Amino acid sequence: MANGSSDNQASNQMWGGRFASGPDAIMEEINASIDFDKKLYAEDITGSIAHATMLAKQGIITESDRDQIVAGLTTIRGEIEAGTFTFSRKLEDIHMNVEARLANLIGAAAGRLHTARSRNDQVALDFRLWVKAELKRTETALTKLISAFLTRAEEHAETVMPGFTHLQTAQPVTFGHHCMAYVEMFGRDRERVRHAIEHLDESPIGAAALAGTPYPIDRHMTASALGFREPTRNSIDTVSDRDFALEFLSVAAITATHLSRLAEEIVIWSTPQFGFIRLSDAFSTGSSIMPQKKNPDAAELVRAKTGRINGSLIALLTVMKGLPLAYSKDMQEDKEQVFDAAESLELALAAMTGMMLDLTVRTDRMKEAAGSGYSTATDLADWLVREAGLPFREAHHITGRAVALAEKRGCTLSELTLDELKAINPVINNGIYSVLTVEASVASRQSFGGTAPSQVRAQIAYWQKRL
């Protein structure tokens, strides 16, 4: 007895205080997924109802069994949604929790539900249904964000601001044009979402463990009932495929990157040094010690969410990279990454949509900054090419000398006298001053997709129809 007690104590010490009962407790801890996959309860029940309905139609189970199964599953769904269902970690996952409760409710008929399927194709179905629905929610959220940008672009099609490269003033643009750049970005994200939905739109149920089933099932029937385009075409690939989850995370990571770039601009633009925008109290916080501070916390948190989403993508890629076909338990690690990324992306999209509709654009500060840094220098060079027939490289050199002179004098290009400009090159005449204002610069950019207000409005009209 003493030796047995000593051995048990040593075992407990080896496994650690949390796992007082030894290896069995550790196995339960690492194996159970119910803490997170209970999120799939609706998809699990929907899939089971479709499966039972098909089994009855094919004569594999009786109509009486089907009716009992459907009634029992409907009761379980009500219990879960009412918060009265008891989830058990000993039953591992959502599938076994539902099946055990169904057996309690209807008896032997519950055991016939799992005919011609496996937990492998069952979890693949549940997860696909959930990701498909989440992608549709993402598409809706992106549409709202794009709509918010179109609203601001329409308001500010003529509002001039500095355009930047290397975060240095480059050429004048309009704020409307800048907004439309994000419309293009998030528009591509929305297309990626739609492509991801198209790629995953195949039903896994009926692939069973990995080899299919000998029962005369109708996979096309269940695919149609569950809203899929068609059933999957290879049972091995079906249970081992998580491309749909990876594609969702990839789309989420690219979208989050775009959100992060926008968040960075909001942070910069809201500083006193820029002062291009003001955020309301709804999307800002104060400082605990500095009463003058107004921090763009919502934008900063959106920027930070990108790290979580990117991390989820890398985590699942790493899980999947070394798995032989078909199913391996490693794939249980897929859901938490997707659930976390989806929650982060939903929140970031909602916050950014709110910020874009909420922020106040300071047109005076934007216009003031638009002319800084000799932003119309390219217009001077273009004028020399168009009006004086000079090669662009020569015009570029002449303009560089004009910029150097303006820097030396501490003035803008338009403040240089005609004599000073003629001294640089005698071909320059009084017409040069017509292109040296930011308004003239912006208005001249009439090429398709350019920053001229007429072009901006044309792109707004295009996107309004497309949306």
Q: Which residues are catalytic?
A: 166, 287
Q: What are phi and psi of 203, to 5 degrees?
A: -85, 125
3-class SS at 230? strand
* Helix runs in 371-431, H state only: 377-388, 392-409, 418-424
Query: Quick one: CA dihedral 139, 141, 147, 150, positive or negative?
Result: negative
Angle at 329 between CA 220 and CA 254, to 5 degrees: 75
Are 263 and 299 a contacting pair, CB within 8 Å?
A: yes
DSSP label at residue 274: T
Q: Taking the CA atoms of the chain, what radius of gyration do you get in angstroms?
A: 31
Are 250 and 135 a contacting pair, CB within 8 Å?
A: no
Are 211 and 235 a contacting pair, CB within 8 Å?
A: yes
Q: Strands 277-278 and 360-361, how do they pair? A: antiparallel
Instruction: Tokens 């550790």: give the residue.
Output: 26
3-class SS at 110? helix
Of 64, 26, 69, 32, nearest in space to 50 by CA: 69
**Cβ within 8 Å of residue 443, ≥6 positions away:** 452, 453
d(CA 445, CA 236): 56
Is 114 exposed, middle or buried (CB count within 10 Å of its CB: 0-12, 13-18, 19+)?
Answer: middle
Are 296 and 271 a contacting pair, CB within 8 Å?
A: no
Which residue pairs from 286-294 have beta carbons closer than 8 angstroms and sit at least 24 positions apart in sequence? 294/270
DSSP structure string for 241-272: --HHHHHHHHHHHHHHHHHHHHHHHHHHHTST
Cis peptide before 252 (omega within 30 of 0): no
Instruction: Tokens 């303009």: give the residue.
Output: 399
d(CA 84, CA 100): 15
